[in-house]
Amino acid sequence: MSTVSDYGPWAVVTGASSGIGRAVAEHLAAEGVHLVLAARSTGRLEDLGRRLTEQHGVRHRVVTVDLSRTDGAATLLHAVGDLDVGLLVSNAGAGRPGLFLDQDLDDLRTRLTLNTTTHLELAHAFGRRFTARGGGAMLLVSALGALHGLPHMAHESASKAYVLHLGEALHHELGPAGVAVTVMLPGNVDTPIIDSLGLDRGRLPLRPLPVETAVRQAFDALRRRRATVIPDRRLRTATRLTPRGLSIRMNGRMLEQAARNLDTRRPVATEAHTGDGV
CATH number of the domain residue 39 falls in: 3.40.50.720
Residue 269 within any structural domain of the chain? no
Residue 16 within any structural domain of the chain? yes
pLDDT score of 260? 84
Tell me which residue range forms the domain holding 222: 4-261
At 263, is the pLDDT very low, low, confident or very high (cuts 50, 70, 90)? Answer: low
- Evaluate if residue 270 carries a pLDDT over 60: no
Residue 218 within any structural domain of the chain? yes
Ranked by mean pLDDT, which of 16-20, 200-204, 267-271 comes out on top?
16-20
d(CA 234, CA 206): 8
Residue 242 within any structural domain of the chain? yes
Contact 136, 85 (CB under 8 A): yes
pLDDT digits (tens, 9 = 90+) for 25-59: 999 999 999 999 999 999 999 999 999 999 999 99
Secondary structure (DSSP) of 262-273: S-TTSPPPSSS-
pLDDT score of 200? 63
At 255, is the pLDDT very low, low, confident or very high (cuts 50, 70, 90)? Answer: confident
Residue 29 within any structural domain of the chain? yes
Number of domains making up the chain = 1
pLDDT-wise least confident of 71-85, 93-107, 245-259: 245-259
- pTM, two decimal places: 0.90
- Residue with the bigger pLDDT between 205 and 275: it is 205
Report the candidate in 85, 81, 80 with the shortest Cα–Cα distance to residue 62.
80
Vertex 170: Cα angle to 165 and 172 (nearest 5): 110
Residue 274 within any structural domain of the chain? no
pLDDT-wise least confident of 40-44, 153-157, 266-270: 266-270
User: What integer best gives the mean pLDDT of the chain?
Assistant: 90
Residue 271 within any structural domain of the chain? no
pLDDT score of 116? 97
Residue 270 within any structural domain of the chain? no
pLDDT digits (tens, 9 = 90+) for 94-112: 888 999 999 999 999 999 9
- Evaluate if residue 273 carries a pLDDT over 70: no
Contact 143, 275 (CB under 8 A): yes
